[in-house]
Amino acid sequence: MHEQPLQRFFKSLRERPVFAWERFQMRDVLVIDHPLCQAVFSRQGAQLLHFQPSGQKPWLWCAAKWPQVGAIRGGVPVCWPWYGRHPSENAWPSHGWARLIDWKLLDSSTDDDGVRLHWQLQLCDWQVDLRAHLGETLDLRLSTEHQDELPCQLSHALHAYWRIGHVDEVALSGLDGAQGYDQLNRQVCQQEGELRVDGGCQRVFQHEGELQLKDHAWQRELCIDTGDSADTVVWHPGSRPLLGVSFNEASGFVCVESAMAGASLAPGERAHLSLQARAGV
């Protein structure tokens, strides 16, 4: 099993402050060490890269090697203001600008329930806020305010890479009967029973409510909630290669994402997205 690369910050026996900035693979990262959890954010993209409640295995997967420039694969990238390829500009980066730009940390606080952080990005006529509450559970909330005088199109996602024992031994329940679209086979689909992703998967479901990620290799269950106004995306590359990621490394994650595509925002209107997770019973 590959160790999550950011766990290195927590191996020292010396007492750490709750919040501490460090430098790792040419990025500024905020290391969080709280009695209830350990976590790491990157300033680039306000990307949660590591989250581990006390006494548990890590919840998030992150690639061991990061490119010198560009997006970091793993954790929970904020895909914004488009998700996937841009609809008209082929040369623009997949999943938008937000995961490539440094965000501003407006506030961080700690209490007995965990830590709270507020990240913000101002870009052109947009204001994007990411609020995180981490403790025994994970709670991310993304808000976009459109500040231009004309309507605009927006798609965005919280593209979570969940850490697992092995992709061959996981199943996702809670989608039984859900309608969706299979992007690999390019056809509509309806889920029947548990979803297994060991052969590769790229499906977008119209779904509300909690899902259960059952990890038989690690004998644990994560309950994931993608909110009530989003699509639920389930993705794993299967045998297809990922740039900079070995096949063995890729077997240690599955993506269950909160996404919204094709929203039209009026001037002054806000769009919201959330992603929550807790340990199963």
Q: Are strands 179-182 and 126-134 parallel, antiparallel or unpaired?
A: unpaired
Give the separation between CA 187 and CA 181, rounded to whole angstroms.
6
3-state class of 78 per DSSP? Answer: strand
Contact of 78 with 130, CB cutoff 8 Å: yes
Residue from 159, 207, 236, 249 carrying the catalytic annotation: 159
For the question of residue 257 being annotated catalytic, the response is yes
Query: What residues are paired with 255 via a beta bridge?
Result: 161, 235
Q: Is 208 a catalytic residue?
A: no
Q: What distance in Å separates the CA atoms of residue 265 and residue 92, rounded to the nearest whole number?
A: 21
Looking at the DSSP bridge assignments, the partners of residue 80 are 96
Burial of 91 (0-12, 13-18, 19+ CB in 10 A): exposed
Contact 225, 273 (CB under 8 A): no
Question: Can the peptide bond before residue 241 be classed as cis, meaning omega within 30 degrees of 0?
Answer: no
User: If 0-12 CB within 10 Å is exposed, 13-18 middle and 19+ buried, where does residue 103 land?
Assistant: buried
Handedness of CA 191, 195, 199, 205 (dihedral sign): positive
Say how far apart CA 165 and CA 171 lie, in whole Å.
Answer: 12
Determine the straight-line distance between the first and last CA of the chain, rounded to whole angstroms.
24
Which residues are known catalytic residues? Answer: 159, 257
